[in-house]
């Protein structure tokens, strides 16, 4: 089971920015649908995050990967609530109800994203603090040394 951790998988992470640049080019040059583009980006972010958590043998990189995974999920949520030419979902007294109902974006995903950002910030803060403690003791950030069997 340990064997497959011996190879250095970090190199594959370089692919991520290349794909991102490609998507940005697609949006700018080919007029790609924004929602689709953000779904693809979110998927790549989530996969990179999961990949980093599972395979990269460094505590700090694991934390970065976790934040990438969280951001991917957030982007998925935002893309679900996206509406081309939408307005802020606050109903003013002057607005007509039908206009408001057809134009306003869906607010629920945004509320979820806000909550998730807060929760994730606190979780990552605790994890970073703990990794400082570990680094002081072990003088290394390798997860397989710090978190080995005890």
Partner 1 sequence: MVKIMNLLPLIVVYPLIMAIIFNYIYKSKVIRILALLMALSLIILPFLGSYGTYFFGAHGMESGLISGIAYIFNPAKQIIIFTLMLIGSLVLITGIGEKRVNGLFVSLLLMGLASVSAVVLADDLFNIYVFYEIVAIVQTGLVIASGTEKAYKSAFRYMIMGNMAGSLLLLGIAFLLSATGTLNISDMHNYLANNPATPTIYGGLLMLIIGLCYGSGLPPFHTVKADIYARAKPFVASMLQTYSKAILVAIMLVILKLFGGLSYFNTAHGALIALSIFGMVFGVVMALLQSDYKKLLSYHAISQVGYVAAGLAIGTPLGIVAGIFHAINNFIYKSALFLGAHIVSQKKSSNLAKLGGLLPIMPTVAFMILCAKLAISGVPPFNGFQSKLLLAEAAMNVNMPELAIIMILVSVGTFVSMMKAFYLIFLKPCSEEQIKEYKTTKVSKYSIFSLAVLTILCILLGIYPDIVINQITPYANEIGRIWTL
Partner 2 sequence: MEYDKFQKQMEKEKHGDGISVGAGLTGELTLYSFLVMSVLLLSRVFSDILFAVIGISIIGIAISFMPMLFKFNRENSNHINMQLFWVSVFVGILSVVIYFAK
Q: Which residues contact partner 2 (rule: CB under 8 A)? A: 1-2, 5, 53-54, 57, 143-144, 147-150
> Which residue lies nearer to partner 1 by CB, 4 or 18?
4
Contacting partner 1 (CB under 8 A), which of 5, 9, 134, 135? 134
d(CA 77, CA 71): 10
Instruction: Annotate each residue in 41-80 with x if it binds partner 1 (CB under 8 A) or - if it does not, as one string.
Output: -----x--xx--x-----x--x---x--xx-xx--xx--x
d(CA 50, CA 37): 20
* CB 28 to partner 1: min, Å: 26
Size of interface with partner 1, in residues (CB under 8 A): 35
d(CA 33, CA 150): 51
Contacting partner 1 (CB under 8 A), which of 20, 60, 105, 120? 120
Q: Indicate the length of the chain as a whole number.
A: 150
3-state secondary structure (DSSP) of residue 83: coil
> Which residue lies nearer to partner 1 by CB, 25 or 142?
142
Instruction: Annotate each residue in 92-111 with x if it binds partner 1 (CB under 8 A) or - if it does not, as one string.
Output: ----------------xx-x
Q: Is 72 exposed, middle or buried (0-12, 13-18, 19+ CB in 10 A)?
A: buried
d(CA 115, CA 40): 23
């Amino acid at each position: 089971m340990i064997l497959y951790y011996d190879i250095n998988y970090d190199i594959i992470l370089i692919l991520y920015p290349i794909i991102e640049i490609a998507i940005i080019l697609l949006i700018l040059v080919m007029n790609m649908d924004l929602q689709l583009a953000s779904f693809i980006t979110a998927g790549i972010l989530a996969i990179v995050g999961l990949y980093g958590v599972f395979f990269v043998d460094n505590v700090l990189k694991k934390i970065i990967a976790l934040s990438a995974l969280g951001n991917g999920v957030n982007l998925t949520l935002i893309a679900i609530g996206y509406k081309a030419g939408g307005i802020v979902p606050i109903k003013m007294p002057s607005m007509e109800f039908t206009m408001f109902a057809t134009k306003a974006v869906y607010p629920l995903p945004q509320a979820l994203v806000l909550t998730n950002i807060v929760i994730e910030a606190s979780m990552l803060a605790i994890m970073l603090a703990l990794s400082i403690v570990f680094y002081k003791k072990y003088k290394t950030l390798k997860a397989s040394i710090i978190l080995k069997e005890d």
